[in-house]
């Protein structure tokens, strides 16, 4: 395993130490729970508190989206594992300024269970927590059961939108409504070319044969829509964009925000090669691209692959997307 | 080859098309030379023009450092190949507003030759071009022949500093002096864990055996200081930091800026694991970290590895480093 690690069982701890050192101007580790990282100014007086959380291995997600006008705290899990209910609870308590807390997370079974336990516990302390789950991964469940879909890179838009609404003084219900609108308007699809290996396991937890690709793969290697022969980038990009747009069914003339994220081991050059054809397809569909983000936004350890995320915009979402923000993962 | 490419012979063209589409708010392809990308407002009236250039495959370098208060244009080469003299010349002419042009590039043989040819040609047109070459890669030549060293990720600091000095109204000699100071104060070292493959070649152009690492490897796979057994991240990070600091010999109490760049296929998590120990070593040496950048800043296609860059700061460099800038590769 050709990796920069110390003890493979402690990669999360080692990563966390480096992360808070690197971004100490914005974030700090909680004094009460070493699996909680919070904005240095949290709780922000008079503002709804914002929390996210999820397994590690997706850096800069989730902790990289903590910052000014973004998340106020994050619960950090082990690699590809949910944070504990206690971590979510401690994150809630760390960010509540009396205005309540919005928890914006990714709709995985462990996260769902632990967030709900933490919400009940917070309620007993008089802290109201409401939540939104991202469900942008169109490959993870059919459209009829969209609520079962997982959140992948679309979380970035949910966090940005929710963070801006809270910063603008929105109350808890308004923050939840804006974040939910971002989720409702967002779709993603992933393509995997080479698998990832959890450091403590030491070998890939699934396989993609040379010359194949997995279309619709999940962020932890969950089976996708199909395994097929690797195609030219143009054809892959077109298929990704078509899958997302067919599911979204945006009106012609709509403006969209586009995010192309590498999955960890994907060369930057190739993300741009994909984007060339993604943009061409969107334009053919009568859509115009308002904003583009390209780079490593939500990764999967050392997976070689890419995720396309598209959010359909309206005036509210455009204003919130453009609102000033500062975090390690995104800056506006 | 598990890659997102169309025709491997046209990856630069395909990447360029995607790049200018994604960042069309900041950059545009030149109308006279399709291997020149320029800032949308170039030439900026009354400002020294700034040009860089180099081979492709290092994305977001070099073209990602064109933007507001950064480079005004870039000459784009084929993968790992110098741009043509004509491309450098056209970039010079595109950015000159009568105040002269500073060319800030990476000290590779082909670039050196072509930049100098382009400078002579520009001179005949009455355009003065002066240049600075980054030479931060301590592994590429002994200290006694520092001027022969290659520029790697240290270019990012040179561009940021030169760009800010020009934006603040510096004349050509002042821009050159500030960029040269950045170079003089900057050192880098790379470690490779897995090689990269030029798409048109289709297989790695060098080898690193499983269980080995190449300490001091160049950005195109140039042989490093040695090939040795892969060590824990802590030991690698410490050795990288020691190599850079021993060569730099900063006074105790100095402030430094630190850049840890992935080389293309390096998981984000691991850059933070490295940074934890890099910071610890710098602190032990009596240095304090003023600013940190971590991510894919200068890559080498799909190489798995990391580069550490350190710049020793003074008041001038701190002011210029913090000065507002907007480019795809860096934003302040």
Interface residue B21 vs chain A (CB under 8 A): yes
d(CA B187, CA B307): 10
The C-alpha of B299 sits at a distance from chain A's nearest C-alpha, in angstroms, of: 8
Query: pLDDT band for position A224 (50/70/90)?
Result: confident
Is B58 considered catalytic here? Answer: yes
Is A58 considered catalytic here? Answer: yes
Per-residue pLDDT for A205 more than 90?
no
CATH numeric code, A8-185: 3.40.50.10440
> Of B23, B58, B150, B219, which one is the catalytic site residue?
B58
d(CA B33, CA A115): 55
pLDDT in tens, B242-276: 999 999 999 999 999 999 999 999 999 999 999 99
Per-residue pLDDT for A78 more than 90?
yes
Partners of residue A84 on adjacent β-strands: none
Per-residue pLDDT for A257 more than 90?
yes
Q: Is A95 helix (H, G, I), strand (E, B) or coil?
A: helix
Q: Which of B181, B195, B243 is nearest to B80 (CA)?
A: B195
Per-residue pLDDT for B224 more than 90?
no
What are the chain A neighbours of B54 within 8 Å (beta carbons)?
none
The C-alpha of B173 sits at a distance from chain A's nearest C-alpha, in angstroms, of: 33
Q: Which chain B residue has the Cα nearest residue A212?
A: B2
Residue B62: cis peptide before it, omega within 30 degrees of 0: yes
pLDDT in tens, B225-244: 999 999 999 999 999 999 99
The C-alpha of A122 sits at a distance from chain B's nearest C-alpha, in angstroms, of: 31
**Is there a shared CATH topology between the B8-184 domain and the B186-314 domain?**
no
Interface residue A200 vs chain B (CB under 8 A): no
The C-alpha of B150 sits at a distance from chain A's nearest C-alpha, in angstroms, of: 22
pLDDT in tens, B305-331: 999 999 999 999 999 999 999 999 999
Q: Which of A77, A72, A48, A306 is nearest to A178 (CA)?
A: A48
Output the pLDDT for position A213. 97
Interface residue B233 vs chain A (CB under 8 A): yes
- Mean pLDDT over A24-41 rounds to 97
Identify the weakest region by mean pLDDT among A122-136, A192-206, B175-189, B284-298.
Answer: A192-206
Domain A186-321 coded CATH 3.10.129.10? no
ipTM above 0.85, yes or no: yes
Interface residue A231 vs chain B (CB under 8 A): no
Interface residue B299 vs chain A (CB under 8 A): yes
Query: pLDDT band for position A76 (50/70/90)?
Result: very high
CB-nearest partner of A265 from B232, B265, B273: B265
Interface residue A230 vs chain B (CB under 8 A): yes
Average pLDDT, chain B: 97
d(CA B112, CA B95): 20
A270 to B299: CB separation less than 8 angstroms, yes or no: no
Q: Can you give the residue ranges of every domain in chain A?
A: 8-185, 186-321
Output the pLDDT for position A233. 98
Output the pLDDT for position A1. 83
Proportion of chain B above pLDDT 70, given as a percent: 100
Query: pLDDT band for position B36 (50/70/90)?
Result: very high
CATH of B8-184, one of 3.20.20.150, 3.40.640.10, 3.40.50.720, 3.40.50.10440: 3.40.50.10440
Query: pLDDT band for position B1 (50/70/90)?
Result: confident
Identify the weakest region by mean pLDDT among A204-213, B45-54, B88-97.
Answer: A204-213
A288-295 vs A255-262, strand pairing mode:
parallel
The C-alpha of A191 sits at a distance from chain B's nearest C-alpha, in angstroms, of: 10
A304 to B2: CB separation less than 8 angstroms, yes or no: yes
> Of A58, A150, A203, A219, which one is the catalytic site residue?
A58
A296 to B296: CB separation less than 8 angstroms, yes or no: yes
CB-nearest partner of B233 from A6, A16, A208: A6
Interface residue B23 vs chain A (CB under 8 A): yes
- Mean pLDDT over A132-136 rounds to 98
Interface test with B, best of A9, A17, A18 (most B CBs within 10 A): A18
CATH numeric code, B186-314: 3.30.1180.20
Q: Cβ-count burial of A222 within 10 angstroms (0-12 exposed, 13-18 middle, 19+ buried)?
A: middle
């Amino acid at each position: 395993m050709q990796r920069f690690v110390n003890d493979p069982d402690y990669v999360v701890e080692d990563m966390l130490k480096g992360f808070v050192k690197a971004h100490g101007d914005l974030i700090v580790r909680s004094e009460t729970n070493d699996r909680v990282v919070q904005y240095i100014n949290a709780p922000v007086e008079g503002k709804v508190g914002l929390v996210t959380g999820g397994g590690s291995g997706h850096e800069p997600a989730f902790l990289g989206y903590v910052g000014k006008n973004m998340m106020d705290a994050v619960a950090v899990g082990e690699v590809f594992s949910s944070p504990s209910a206690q971590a979510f609870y401690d994150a809630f308590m760390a960010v509540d300024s009396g205005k309540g807390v919005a928890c914006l997370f990714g709709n995985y079974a462990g996260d769902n269970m632990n967030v709900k336990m933490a919400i009940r516990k917070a309620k007993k302390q008089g802290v109201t927590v409401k939540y939104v789950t991202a469900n942008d991964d169109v490959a993870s469940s059919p459209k009829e059961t969209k609520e079962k879909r997982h959140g992948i890179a679309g979380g970035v838009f949910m966090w940005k939108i929710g963070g801006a609404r809270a910063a603008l003084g929105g109350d808890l219900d308004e923050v939840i409504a804006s974040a939910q609108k971002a989720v409702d308007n967002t779709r993603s699809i992933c393509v995997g070319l080479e698998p990832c290996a959890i450091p403590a396991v030491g070998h890939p937890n699934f396989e993609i044969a040379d010359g194949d690709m997995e279309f619709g793969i999940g962020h932890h290697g969950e089976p996708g829509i199909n395994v097929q022969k690797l195609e030219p980038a143009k054809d892959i990009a077109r298929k990704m964009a078509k899958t997302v747009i067919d599911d979204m069914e945006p009106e012609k003339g709509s403006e969209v925000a586009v995010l192309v994220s590498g999955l960890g081991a994907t060369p930057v050059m190739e993300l741009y090669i994909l984007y060339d054809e993604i943009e061409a397809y969107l334009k053919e569909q009568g859509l115009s691209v308002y904003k583009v983000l390209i780079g490593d936004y939500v990764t999967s350890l050392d997976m070689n692959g890419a995720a396309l995320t598209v959010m359909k915009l309206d005036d509210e979402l455009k204003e919130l997307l453009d609102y000033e923000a500062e975090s390690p993962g995104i800056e506006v």
